[in-house]
Amino acid sequence: MPDYKSDPLFLHPILHAALPGILSAVKANLPSGWKTGTGSQGIHRTPAEQFVLFQKGRAFKNGSWVVVNKKEKVTDLDGHIKKSRHNNLPATAVDIILIKPNGQELDAGPQEQQIGKGAAKYGLNWGGNWSGWQDLPHIEIPPARLFKKSLDLDEALQWQKYLFHGGALTKPEDLDGLFGQNSKAAMQKLIGTTERTPGAWAQLYGQYGPLEKLTTFDAFSWIPPVS
């Protein structure tokens, strides 16, 4: 199975469709010899993997996790109570890395401003624009561009699109973002499981290809770049 932590196939169709253009836009404004990519953990993370990141720079004291080293702190999102956009499947965020001519990944530097320009070209939010703590590699889909502006409903909808395209869901009203028994039965019929796992997503992607390229969904699975 492809690595869900780094393979773009696990991205939300809006990001999956935009990623080549984003990387191209970023690279075009970098010094000669630099490269761009999504890194080893730039796509999807399980809640457990997110919690490992949450623990960095923290210690468990008096019943809670407290910051003991701000320099080592990575995130305030634990993957359970507070979820990261990377925890969505498909992921509604992507981390862009910059690779110097010597092959080393840039840790931090002014070149990361180009990531924000790539995000803006496609109407996406950039972590470098956040107030307070900033996440310069991070790009995510604005809530207004999600189905009913809901992360949970939008996530389920992407799975339902595959099920509809595969004929396991048959009515447009089945595309409601509510992944209940009807959707689970449809997925069981189509690929033999009811669990929305990276393996199940990879199987659907392998059978039907990128969601944004399924003509059935052109009207609502991809929004063109902002001019």
How much is the average pLDDT of 70-93?
93
Per-residue pLDDT tens over the stretch 167-211 = 999 998 899 999 999 999 999 999 999 999 999 999 999 999 999
Which range marks the domain in which residue 135 is found? 8-45+84-144
d(CA 182, CA 162): 14
Nearby residues of 145 by Cβ (< 8 Å), 6 or more positions away: 14, 123, 223
How much is the average pLDDT of 68-74?
89
Residue 220, pLDDT > 60, answer: no
Residue 118 contacts residue 109 (beta carbons within 8 Å): no
What b-and-e string marks burial along 12-25, b requiring 16 or more CB atoms within 10 Å of the CB? bbbbbbbbeebbeb
Cα atoms found within 13 Å of the Cα of residue 118, Cβ hemisphere only: 32
Q: Same domain for 27 and 97?
A: yes
Q: Same domain for 114 and 158?
A: no
In the listed set 96, 113, 144, which residue is the last one of a domain according to the structure?
Answer: 144
Residue whose C-alpha is closest to residue 183's, from 202, 197, 169, 200:
169
Per-residue pLDDT tens over the stretch 37-51 = 998 889 999 999 999
Other C-beta atoms lying within 10 Å of the C-beta of residue 62: 5
Number of helices (H), then strands (E), in the chain: 7, 7
Q: Same domain for 22 and 101?
A: yes
Nearby residues of 165 by Cβ (< 8 Å), 6 or more positions away: 208, 214, 216, 217
Residue whose C-alpha is closest to residue 160's, from 173, 150, 178, 175:
175
Q: Same domain for 108 and 205?
A: no
Residue 117, pLDDT > 90, answer: yes
- Which pLDDT value is given to residue 222? 40
- Which pLDDT value is given to residue 214? 85
Does this model's pTM top 0.75? My answer is: yes
- Which pLDDT value is given to residue 215? 66
Task: Count the domains in the chain.
Answer: 2
Residue 17, pLDDT > 50, answer: yes
- Which pLDDT value is given to residue 217? 59
d(CA 183, CA 46): 22
Q: Same domain for 91 and 174?
A: no
Is residue 74 domain-resident? no
CATH number of the domain to which 101 belongs: 3.30.1380.10
- Which pLDDT value is given to residue 134? 87
- Mean pLDDT taken over the chain: 91
What tokens were used for 84? 């990261």
